[in-house]
Structure 1
Amino acid sequence: MSSPPVRADPGMTGRLARSLPLAVATGAAIGVLGGLIGLGGAEFRLPLLIGLFGFVALQAVILNKAMSLIVVMTALPARLASVPYAELAPQWSIVVNLLGGSLVGAWVGATWATKMRSATLYKVLAGLLVLIAIALAASHFGDLGTLELEPITRTIAGLLAGAGIGIVAALMGVAGGELLIPTIVLLYAVDIKIAGSLSLAVSLPTMLVAFARYSQDRSFGVLRANGRFVVAMSIGSIAGTIAGGLLLGILPNLVLIPLLVSLLLLSAIKVWRHE
Structure 2
Amino acid sequence: MAVTRLRALASFAGGAVIGTLGGLIGLGGAEFRLPLLVGAFRFAVLDAVILNKAMSLVVVAAALPFRAGAVPLGLVAANGTVIVNLLAGSLLGAWIGAGWAMRMDAARLHRVIALLLILIAGALLFGHGAAGGGSPLDGLALDGLALIAAGTAVGFAIGVVASILGVAGGELLIPTLVLLFGVDVKLAGSLSLAISLPTMIAGFSRYARDRSLSVLARNRRFVLLMAAGSLAGAFIGGRLLGIVPESVLLPVLSAILLLSAAKMWRH
- TM interval, shorter chain, is over 0.9
Greater alpha carbon shift after TM alignment, 76-85 vs 59-68: 76-85
| Residue identity opposite 1:68 in structure 2 | S
Long gaps (5+) in structure 1: 1-13
Check if 1:63 corresponds to 2:51.
yes
Contact 1:58 1:113 in 2 (8 A): yes
**Percent of aligned pairs with the same residue?**
56
Q: Aligned partners of 2:91, 2:192: CA distance in 1, in Å?
A: 13
Q: Say whether 1:25 aligns with 2:25.
A: no
1:152 counterpart (131, 145, 149): 145
- Tell me, what secondary structure is at the counterpart of 2:79? helix
- After superposition, give the CA deviation of every residue in 1:10-69 in whole Å (9 maximum; x if it has no partner): xxxx96664010000010000010000000100000000000000011000000000000
Between the aligned partners of 1:78 and 1:187, the Cα distance in structure 2 is: 26
The residue number in structure 2 matching 1:131 is 119
Change (3 A) 1:27 1:260: same
1:209 maps to 202
| Alpha-carbon distance change, 127 to 217 in structure 1, aligned in 2, over 3 angstroms | same
Whole-angstrom CA distance in 2 between matches of 1:174 and 1:88:
21
Q: How far apart are 1:222 and its partner, in Å?
A: 1.1
**Residue matched to 2:165:** 172
The 1:153–1:15 alpha-carbon spacing in structure 2 relative to 1, beyond 3 Å, is farther
What residue in structure 2 maps to residue 49 of structure 1? Answer: 37
Distance 2:181 2:4 in 1: 44
Structure 2 counterpart of 1:5 = none
Q: Deviation per CA, 1:188-216: give whole Å up to 9, x if none.
A: 11101011111011000000010011112
Residue 249 in structure 1 maps to residue 235 in structure 2: no
Q: Say which SS state the counterpart of residue 55 (structure 1) adopts.
A: coil
Deviation at 1:90, TM superposition (A): 2.2
- Kindly state the Cα deviation for residue 141 of structure 1 after the two structures are TM-superposed: 2.7
Post-superposition, which runs of at least 4 consecutive aligned residues in structure 1 deviate over 4 A? Answer: 14-18
Q: TM-score, normalised by structure 1?
A: 0.92
Name the counterpart of 2:224. Answer: 231
Partner of 1:3: none
The residue type equivalent to 1:261 in the other structure is S
Residue equivalent to 1:37? 25
Q: Distance in 2 between matches of 1:52 and 1:144?
A: 40
Question: CA 1:20 to 1:224, structure 2 compared with 1: closer, same or farther past 3 Å?
Answer: same
CA distance in 2, matches of 1:119, 1:227: 26
The aligned amino acid for 2:41 is F
SS of corresponding position for 1:175: coil
CA distance in 2, matches of 1:101, 1:248: 32
- Give secondary structure in 1 for the equivalent of 2:172: helix
What CA RMSD, in Å, does the superposition of the two structures yield over aligned residues?
1.5
SS in structure 2 of the partner of residue 215 of structure 1: helix
* 1:139 shift after superposition: 1.8
Q: Counterparts in 2 of 1:70-109, with a 5 A limit?
A: 70-109=58-97
TM-score (norm 2): 0.95
Counterpart residue identity of residue 256, structure 2: L
Is contact 1:98-1:161 (8 Å) kept?
yes
For structure 2, the 5+ residue unaligned runs are none
Q: Choose 79-88 or 191-200, whichever is displaced more.
A: 79-88
Q: Secondary structure at the match of 1:127?
A: helix
CA distance in 2 between counterparts of 1:163 and 1:246 reads 33
Aligned partner of residue 53 in structure 1, secondary structure: coil
Quick one: structure 1 residues 219 and 41, their matched pair in 2 at CA, closer, same or farther if it must change by over 3 Å?
A: same
* Cα contact 1:32–1:241 (8 A) shared by 2: yes
Q: Is the 8 A contact 2:95 2:163 kept in 1?
A: yes
Conservation of the 8 A alpha-carbon contact between 1:17 and 1:229: no
Q: Which amino acid aligns with 1:186?
A: L
Q: By how many angstroms is 1:79 displaced? A: 1.5
Structure 1 position 244, deviation (Å): 0.2
Alignment partners' CA distance in 1, 2:134 and 2:197: 25
